[in-house]
C-alpha cells in the first residue's frame, strides 16, 4: 500500500515535469552562421518587446554578459559564464520573432567546438532547458506584472473619477442649499411685495381722492374768498 502511494506521488509529478520541458524545445534554425542547433521558447499572447527586455536582463543576471545588436535583429553576448551550459566561457546568439499574437525566443549557445544540443551534450542541454524554463516564468511574471499595472491604472482612473463625482455631489448639495435659501428669500420677498402692492393700492386710492379734491379747488378758484 505504501509503495502504491509513493508511485502515485511520483506519477503525479510527471505531467508537471513534462510540461516544464515542453516549454523549451530544441530546434535547428537559421542564424548568422547558417542553420545551427539551438533552443526555442514560445510566449503566446506576449509582447515581443517584453520578451526582448526580459531576455537582456536574464542574460546579464545569469550569464554575466551584455547583449549586443547584430544583423537582422539577431543579438549576441560574448564571454558568457554558466555551469548549466558549459564548463568554459561561451557565446550566445539570440533572436526574438513574432509568432501569431505572441513571440518566440530563439537562442543558440556557441561552445566553440559545437553549438549546444542534446546530440553533443545531453546533460547540459537538459540543464539549459531548465534554465530557459526559468526564463519563461520570468517573462510570464513580467507579462502578468504589466497586466497588474494596467489594472491598477484603470483602478486609479476609476478612483479619480469617483473622487470627482463626490466633489461634484458636494458642490451640487451646496448649490441646492444656496438655491433653497434664495427661493425662501424670494418667497418672503413675494409675500412682502404683495403686501406692498396692497398698501400702495390704498395709497393710490387716497391720492386719487387728493387729486380730485385739488382739481375741484382749481375749478372753484373764482369762488374762493380772499
**Residues 6 or more apart from 80 whose CB is under 8 A from it?**
59, 63, 64, 65, 89, 90, 91, 92
All structural domains of the chain: 2-148 (3.30.310)
pLDDT by position in tens, the chain (length 226): 454 433 344 434 434 444 444 799 999 999 999 999 999 999 999 999 999 999 999 999 999 999 999 878 899 999 999 999 999 999 999 999 999 999 999 999 999 999 999 999 999 999 999 999 999 999 999 999 999 999 999 999 999 999 999 999 999 999 999 999 999 999 999 999 999 999 999 999 999 999 998 888 888 877 766 5
- Name the pTM for this structure: 0.68
**CA 44 to each of CA 31, 48, 189: distance values in angstroms, whole numbers, following the listed order:** 23, 10, 74
What is the Cα–Cα distance from 71 to 50, expressed in whole angstroms?
20
Instruction: Determine the pLDDT at residue 21.
Output: 45
Q: How much is the pLDDT for 98? A: 94
Report the length, in residues, of the chain: 226
Q: How far apart are CA 5 and CA 12, in angstroms?
A: 11
pLDDT number for residue 132: 98
How many Å apart are CA 96 and CA 42, to the nearest integer? 10
Query: In this predicted structure, what is the pLDDT of residue 221?
Result: 77
Tell me what pLDDT residue 70 has. Answer: 85
Spatial neighbors of 181 by CB under 8 A, at least 6 apart, are: none
CA–centroid distance for 63 within its chain: 32
Residue 134 confidence (pLDDT): 97
Looking at residue 41, what is its pLDDT?
Answer: 98
| pLDDT for 225 | 60
Amino acid at each position: 500500500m505504501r509503495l502504491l502511494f509513493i508511485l502515485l506521488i511520483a506519477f503525479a509529478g510527471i505531467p508537471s515535469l513534462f510540461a516544464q520541458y515542453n516549454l523549451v524545445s530544441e530546434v535547428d534554425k537559421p542564424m548568422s552562421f547558417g542553420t545551427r542547433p539551438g533552443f526555442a521558447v514560445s510566449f503566446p499572447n506576449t509582447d515581443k518587446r517584453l520578451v526582448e527586455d526580459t531576455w537582456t536582463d536574464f542574460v546579464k543576471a545569469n550569464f554575466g554578459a551584455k547583449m549586443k545588436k547584430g544583423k537582422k535583429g539577431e543579438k549576441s553576448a560574448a564571454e558568457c559564464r554558466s555551469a548549466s551550459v558549459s564548463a568554459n566561457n561561451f557565446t550566445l546568439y539570440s533572436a526574438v520573432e513574432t509568432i501569431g499574437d505572441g513571440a518566440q525566443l530563439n537562442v543558440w549557445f556557441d561552445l566553440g567546438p559545437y553549438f549546444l544540443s542534446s546530440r553533443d551534450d545531453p546533460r547540459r542541454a537538459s540543464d539549459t532547458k531548465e534554465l530557459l524554463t526559468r526564463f519563461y516564468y520570468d517573462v510570464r511574471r513580467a507579462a502578468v506584472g504589466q497586466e497588474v499595472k494596467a489594472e491598477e491604472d484603470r483602478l486609479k482612473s476609476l478612483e479619480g473619477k469617483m473622487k470627482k463625482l463626490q466633489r461634484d455631489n458636494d458642490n451640487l448639495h451646496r448649490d441646492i442649499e444656496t438655491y433653497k435659501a434664495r427661493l425662501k428669500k424670494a418667497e418672503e420677498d413675494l409675500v412682502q411685495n404683495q403686501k406692498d402692492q396692497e398698501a400702495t393700492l390704498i395709497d393710490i386710492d387716497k391720492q386719487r381722492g387728493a387729486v380730485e379734491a385739488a382739481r375741484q379747488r382749481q375749478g372753484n378758484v373764482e369762488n374762493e374768498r380772499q
